[in-house]
């Protein structure tokens, strides 16, 4: 259904319009999907569910309500601004002319929450500890302890490391500063070290979550001219700054390549958290969460989850999205086992 046809329905101009048709008003699932998409900052999903709501009201003959809803949605869309406007929300100290810090840090206030992630219980417990110790940091320091601040996330791609950094910032109400490694790592170690210093200085000036995503991967991506020794020197430089850092900001580093890291690296962090692909229960939760707005009561979950075993959270989420799109294009709200099996099978054949 297109937005125009919803509006036509609201105006009562659609040929197939039957005022006495018995279609329920907002379903519980739609309301949940609305709230969830708002919480996740997923605007396109939010508006698409809102549009379904308006269409439903038009179908049951609530033309005035449907028309009001379409107006509200149109107005909201017209006013909507991207949630992440780095320059507008960059805290004041960062706006000061301090070399090229602006190119090194991308600031945002994430809408994600840890509760949006599907995580093994022990992993979630570690993240909860970070939240508690950060919130009660002053209390701990007062008694001579240092709260957990330097955290390493390790594990295969698509298991939620980047999302975790955003969710920690979201739950703590702190800004997220994603360090732009492409701007940071240059051919010259001296320059890289100077830029790293800018970033670590910023941690003391503006409290936040400072996220070094796939640090080693970027260092390792720089081509054949870049020998292991050079990567090692950049990493060592980072670790030195990390060791000296005593601010109240949270430093999170993520990597897909546990093999590149030795014990000396792990030692500099307060906590290392290992991510892995989901087990059956977690895989089902990822799929179900993603399909929350749709009818899934006929799905044979054990079969689908079995077919998707070994896939990452991200791949499962993409498979769910594909099945959802198929259902929408079929003009049906029901997700079938077949649709999901096909979608999961395709993720298997063409990983990423």
Ligand X SMILES: Nc1ncnc2c1ncn2[C@@H]1O[C@H](COP(=O)(O)OP(=O)(O)O)[C@@H](O)[C@H]1O
How many angstroms separate the CA atoms of 334 and 337, rounded? 10
Q: Does 162 help bind Mg ion (rule: CB under 5 A)?
A: yes
Name the minimum Å distance from CB 28 to ligand X. Answer: 22
User: In the structure, how many helices (H) and strands (E) does the chain have?
Assistant: 19, 6
Bridge partners of 273? Answer: 153
Long-range contacts of 30-33 (CB under 8 A, 24+ apart): 30/56, 30/293, 32/292, 32/293, 33/292, 33/293
Among 127, 231, 317, 320, the residue binding ligand X under the rule CB under 6 A is: 317
Among 105, 118, 304, 319, the residue binding ligand X under the rule CB under 6 A is: 118
Q: What is the dihedral of CA 345, 349, 350, 352, to 10 degrees?
A: 60
Q: Does 164 help bind Mg ion (rule: CB under 5 A)?
A: no
Helix ranges restricted to H, 90-136:
92-95, 101-104, 121-135
Bridge partners of 154? Answer: 255, 274
Alpha carbon 69 to chain centroid distance?
29
Name the minimum Å distance from CB 283 to Mg ion. Answer: 19
When CB distances are held under 5 to 8 angstroms depending on the partner's kind, the choice from ligand X, Mg ion, none that residue 117 binds is ligand X
Name the minimum Å distance from CB 287 to ligand X. Answer: 10
Map residue 255 onto helix, strand or coil: strand
Q: Does 313 help bind ligand X (rule: CB under 6 A)?
A: yes
- Choose the binding region for ligand X from 4-12, 83-91, 115-123, 234-242 (rule: CB under 6 A): 115-123
Name the minimum Å distance from CB 256 to Mg ion. Answer: 8
DSSP 180-209: -HHHH--S-HHHHHHHHHHHHHHHHHS-SE
For ligand X, give the closer residue by CB, 119 or 265. 119
Name the minimum Å distance from CB 253 to Mg ion. Answer: 11
When CB distances are held under 5 to 8 angstroms depending on the partner's kind, the choice from ligand X, Mg ion, none that residue 286 binds is ligand X
Binding mask 160-189 for ligand X (x = CB under 6 A): xxxx--------------------------
Name the minimum Å distance from CB 281 to ligand X. Answer: 12
Q: What does the binding site for ligand X look like in residue numbers (CB under 6 A)? A: 117-119, 157-163, 286, 313-314, 317
Q: What does the binding site for Mg ion look like in residue numbers (CB under 5 A)? A: 161-162
């Amino acid at each position: 259904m297109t937005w125009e046809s919803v509006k036509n329905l609201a105006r009562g101009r659609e040929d197939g319009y039957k005022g006495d048709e018995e279609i329920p008003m907002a379903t519980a699932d739609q309301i949940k999907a609305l709230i969830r998409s708002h919480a996740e900052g997923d605007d396109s999903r939010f508006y698409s569910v809102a549009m379904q709501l308006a269409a439903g009201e038009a179908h049951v003959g609530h033309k005035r309500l449907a028309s009001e809803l379409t107006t509200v949605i149109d107005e909201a869309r017209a006013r909507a601004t991207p949630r992440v406007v780095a320059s507008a929300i960059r805290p004041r100290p960062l706006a000061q002319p301090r070399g090229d810090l602006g190119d090194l840090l991308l600031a945002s206030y994430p809408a994600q929450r840890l509760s949006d992630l599907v995580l093994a219980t022990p992993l979630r417990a570690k993240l909860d500890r970070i939240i508690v110790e950060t919130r009660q940091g002053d209390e701990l320091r007062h008694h001579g302890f240092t709260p957990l601040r330097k955290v390493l996330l390790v594990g295969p791609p698509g298991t939620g490391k980047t999302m975790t950094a955003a969710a920690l910032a979201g739950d703590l109400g702190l800004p997220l500063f994603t360090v732009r490694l492409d701007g940071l790592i240059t051919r010259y170690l001296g320059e890289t070290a100077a830029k790293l210093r800018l970033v670590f200085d910023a941690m003391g000036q503006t409290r936040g979550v400072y996220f070094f995503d796939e640090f080693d991967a970027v260092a390792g991506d720089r081509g054949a001219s870049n020998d292991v020794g050079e990567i090692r020197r950049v990493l060592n430089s980072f670790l030195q700054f990390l060791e000296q850092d005593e601010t109240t900001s949270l430093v999170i580093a993520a990597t897909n390549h546990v093999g590149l890291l030795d014990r000396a690296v792990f030692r500099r962090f307060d906590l290392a958290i290992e991510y892995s692909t989901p087990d059956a229960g977690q895989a089902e939760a990822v799929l179900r969460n993603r399909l929350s707005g749709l009818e899934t009561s006929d799905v044979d979950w054990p079969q689908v989850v079995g077919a998707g075993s070994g896939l990452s959270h991200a791949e499962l989420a993409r498979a769910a999205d594909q099945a959802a799109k198929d259902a929408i294009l079929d003009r049906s709200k029901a997700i079938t086992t077949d649709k999901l099996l096909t979608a999961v099978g395709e993720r298997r054949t063409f990983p990423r």
